[in-house]
């Protein structure tokens, strides 16, 4: 088997490849539905309906999409520079924790300040917490050559254990009846609802705005150019005078900050406190979303909404026909692999010899 580079790739192919790959994945996953003994057509119909079929479904899907878009952006920024940040999960929790430390209720944690001052402070603290968490692995990669994938992964475990210790001890809400959950945020720091009596909150606008900002950074700034240069070939970029270390540091700060904000926005928009199960692996799913989007910041919005819809729809579907919700995780993971292959096929043709 050998690969030959295609001379040109059409724009349509670049958009159709991921869509085709996802459809292909759904087709293959139908085998799993059959194994679970459910009718394929009805299962998929329920999945789509549960994710996108009503105002309530859309509200739930968009709510779930908010952290996914943000962790997806975190992965996009880092992966563009070939900094493989797998630590968004830990950075998300660090951001959530920082938000509660700054904006928690008096008597627990938190500061007594006017909300117009405290809110930006809270978001800043979350961004800084996430950013600092990625800075170490990024510098270790750049200066010592320690593989950042392993360090960021291991740090996730350390952060989660640290959060668990804090929720058992210093940050535990004494009124939570023994549940390991943190003190709550001051109510005036919480994000407003987008629709009455639905969960979707203004964090969605934050996520969308940040996607546009990241897109603009990539497209219009020197930093964006440097990121792409370092990602394409760090050594060549160095020769060409791109400040590689500074770019890597900036990428780490930006990527970590986005993941940290994901945690703060979850707390401010949805839970109002930190628990260990506030994220069912948003940090890891963000990687898939970044790849589905072809590392395009605006594509991340679409990919985030799609994946959120599949995850939300799986809950409804599972209740109705009894296919385990893990099918959503299978579809998401298999889509990642299928999209990788499809994107490759837009650039290369495979010759079997």
Is 45 a binding residue for another protein by CB under 8 A? The answer is no
- Chain center to CA of 342: 22
Contact pattern for another protein over residues 114 through 153, marking x by CB under 8 A: --------------------------x---xxxx-xxx-x
Q: Checking phi first, is residue 110 left (phi over 0); if not, alpha (psi -120 to 50) or beta?
A: left
For residues 254 to 293, the per-residue mask of contacts with another protein, x marking binding by CB under 8 A and - elsewhere, is: ------------------------------x--xx--x--
219 vs 319 by CB, closer to another protein: 319
Residue 40 is a binding residue for another protein (CB under 8 A): no
Phi-psi region of 103 (alpha: psi -120 to 50; beta: other; left: phi over 0): alpha
161 binds another protein (CB under 8 A): yes
Q: What backbone torsions phi and psi does residue 45 show, to the nearest 5 degrees?
A: -60, -45
- 100's CB contacts (< 8 A; 6+ apart) are 109, 110, 171, 182, 183, 184, 185, 267, 273, 274
Distance CA 82, CA 214 (A): 16
- Minimum CB separation of residue 193 from another protein in Å reads 32
Q: Kindly tell me which of 211 and 343 has the beta carbon lying closer to another protein.
A: 343
DSSP states along 15-75? HHHHHHHHHHHHHHHHHHHHHTT--HHHHHHHHHHHHHSSHHHHHHHHHHHHHHHHHHHHH
- Binding part of the chain for another protein, among 11-19, 109-117, 195-203, 327-335 by CB under 8 A, reads 327-335
Residues that bind another protein (CB under 8 A): 1-3, 32, 35-36, 84, 86, 140, 144-147, 149-151, 153-155, 157-158, 161-162, 164-165, 168-169, 284, 287-288, 291, 322, 324, 326-327, 329-330, 332-334, 336-337, 340-341, 344, 350
């Amino acid at each position: 088997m050998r690969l030959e580079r295609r001379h040109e790739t059409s724009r349509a192919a670049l958009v159709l490849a991921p869509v085709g790959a996802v459809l292909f994945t759904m087709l293959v996953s139908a085998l799993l539905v059959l194994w679970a003994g459910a009718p394929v057509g009805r299962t998929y119909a329920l999945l789509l309906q549960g994710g996108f079929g009503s105002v309530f479904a859309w509200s739930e899907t968009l709510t779930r999409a908010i952290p996914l878009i943000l962790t997806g952006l975190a992965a996009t920024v880092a992966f563009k520079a070939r900094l493989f940040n797998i630590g968004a999960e830990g950075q998300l929790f660090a951001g959530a924790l920082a938000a509660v430390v700054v904006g928690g209720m008096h008597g627990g944690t938190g500061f007594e300040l006017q909300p117009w001052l405290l809110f930006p402070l809270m978001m800043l603290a979350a961004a800084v917490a996430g950013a600092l968490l990625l800075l170490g692995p990024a510098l270790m990669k750049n200066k010592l050559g320690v593989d950042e994938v392993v360090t960021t992964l291991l740090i996730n475990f350390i952060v989660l254990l640290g959060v668990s210790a804090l929720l058992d001890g210093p940050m535990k809400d004494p009124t939570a009846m023994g549940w390991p959950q943190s003190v709550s945020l001051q109510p005036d720091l919480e994000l407003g609802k987008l629709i009455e009596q639905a969960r979707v909150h203004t964090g969605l606008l934050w996520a969308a705005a940040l996607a546009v900002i990241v897109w603009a950074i990539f497209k219009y700034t020197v930093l964006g150019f440097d990121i792409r240069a370092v990602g394409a070939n760090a050594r060549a970029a160095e020769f060409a005078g791109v400040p590689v270390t500074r770019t890597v540091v900036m990428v780490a700060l930006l990527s970590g900050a986005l993941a940290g904000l994901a945690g703060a926005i979850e707390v401010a928009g949805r839970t109002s406190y930190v628990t260990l199960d506030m994220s069912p692996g948003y940090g890891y799913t963000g990687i898939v979303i970044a790849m589905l989007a072809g590392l395009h910041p605006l594509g991340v919005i679409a990919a985030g909404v799609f994946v959120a819809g599949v995850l939300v729809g799986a809950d409804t579907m599972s209740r109705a026909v009894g296919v385990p919700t893990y099918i959503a995780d299978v579809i998401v993971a298999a889509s990642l692999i299928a999209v990788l292959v499809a994107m490759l096929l837009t650039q290369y043709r495979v010759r079997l010899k």
